[in-house]
Amino acid sequence: MDKVAIIFDEIFIKHKAGEWHPESPLRLEAILRRLADEDLRNLIDYHRPERASKEEILWNHTEELYDLVASTQGKPYFSLDPDTATNEYSFESAMYAVGAQKTALKLLLEEGYNFVFALVRPPGHHAERDRAMGFCLFNNVALAGYYAKNLYRMKRILIVDFDLHHGNGTQNSFYEDPEVLFFSSHQYPYYPGTGNYTEIGRGLGRGFTINVPLRSYSRDEDFIFFYSKLLKPIAFQYKPEIVLVSAGFDSLKGDPLGSLQLSFEGLAVIVKILKEIADYSSQGKILFTLEGGYNLKNLAEGVATVIKTLLFPDQVKIPEDFTPSEYSVSLFHKIADILNFKNYWEV
């Protein structure tokens, strides 16, 4: 039977951004407790991450940002941005969070795993080339894209970001790059302010960024609509060689930082669609990397839902009939128009 490889190291628990910060070590502790439960513990293999090298970080970040984050080593507190701070362990934690992406690709592409979940902190998708922001120091998933490009010579990499917030850093890393197709669904307008549907890439990368700016209180039907009618057909045309997922569980109903209303059932449908894409074009290879999620119960059960859906997809039905909101239907047409009009994808 397939198992899910979890990549984890104690260093990810040591990073703290301040006493009352929502992105706290309690998040990983809640997930690990859930994964130790009877129904999951025999379905998982644990692996330790490698440490990224400076050279690898510089594939996606400026040396100035690297040096700044490295300079926080050993300091109990350093503020990088109004909501992004470090302690003495944060730099090491960030280096291993990136290195976990390298380990993950090795497990997927050389060691026979189909499913890897990198349980890392700090998260990554807001980190820009030259700037740490939004609780993120280095951009883990963007660097997973660079590992796929530079170590495995991949030319078609799909990154799907279902975190409640727009993955601005990831988008900007590949905005002019057709070798990475970036698809993000997120609450909009909201932090960090980017991610309107009109942002579709630039130059050779035009048509390879797809944004789904969901209205507050969007429900399962809205998510399923965009994942099954927009992402899936485009991904089947793109035929990615690997599927990378920025897995943020703040999209689930009841998150203290947002107001999307995704349920665990809806999340399972999204994961099943992602698995279908991977089965279709990337030999089933799919990597989930932890981003946000600040309701601890949701976070732990969200990760459990991902694992169960990957291993038992037949238990999840993708509904044929669903009623997205009028807003979502109109948004879909706007996205379809802008993509079809430019002759990028048939949707």
* Secondary structure of residue 245 in the 3-state scheme: strand
Question: Residues 34, 121, 165, 186: which binds Zn ion (CB under 5 A)?
Answer: 165
248 is a contact residue toward Zn ion (CB under 5 A): yes
* Secondary structure of residue 45 in the 3-state scheme: strand
Question: Residues 22, 49, 145, 292: which binds Zn ion (CB under 5 A)?
Answer: 292
Mark 107-126 with x for binding to Zn ion (rule: CB under 5 A) and - for no binding: --------------------
Cβ burial 327-337 (10 Å sphere, 16+ → b, else e): ebeebbeebbe
Tokens of 222: 């809205």
166 is a contact residue toward Zn ion (CB under 5 A): no
Residue 150 and residue 206: Cα distance in Å, rounded?
Answer: 22
Shortest distance in whole angstroms from residue 292 CB to Zn ion: 3
Shortest distance in whole angstroms from residue 65 CB to Zn ion: 20
The smaller minimum CB distance to Zn ion, of residues 165 and 232, is found at 165
The smaller minimum CB distance to Zn ion, of residues 187 and 305, is found at 187
Residue 161 and residue 139: Cα distance in Å, rounded?
Answer: 13
Question: Per CB under 5 A, which region of 86-94, 113-121, 173-181, 292-300 contacts Zn ion?
Answer: 292-300
The smaller minimum CB distance to Zn ion, of residues 133 and 311, is found at 133
164 is a contact residue toward Zn ion (CB under 5 A): yes
How many residues bind Zn ion, per CB under 5 A? 6
The smaller minimum CB distance to Zn ion, of residues 34 and 165, is found at 165
Q: For the purposes of burial, counting CB atoms within 10 Å of the CB of 64, is it exposed (0-12), middle (13-18) or buried (19 or more)?
A: exposed
The smaller minimum CB distance to Zn ion, of residues 49 and 167, is found at 167
What are the backbone dihedrals phi and psi of residue 334, each rounded to the nearest 5 degrees, phi first? -65, -45
Q: For the purposes of burial, counting CB atoms within 10 Å of the CB of 14, is it exposed (0-12), middle (13-18) or buried (19 or more)?
A: middle
Pairing of strands 84-86, 78-81: antiparallel
Question: Residues 50, 56, 250, 301: which binds Zn ion (CB under 5 A)?
Answer: 250
163 is a contact residue toward Zn ion (CB under 5 A): yes
- Residue 125 annotated as catalytic: no
158 is a contact residue toward Zn ion (CB under 5 A): no
Q: How far is CA 328 from CA 213, 214, 224, 281, 334, in A?
A: 9, 7, 11, 28, 10
Catalytic residue among 15, 47, 125, 126: 126
- CB-closest chain residue to Zn ion: 292
Contacts with Zn ion by CB under 5 A lie at 163-165, 248, 250, 292
Catalytic residues: 126
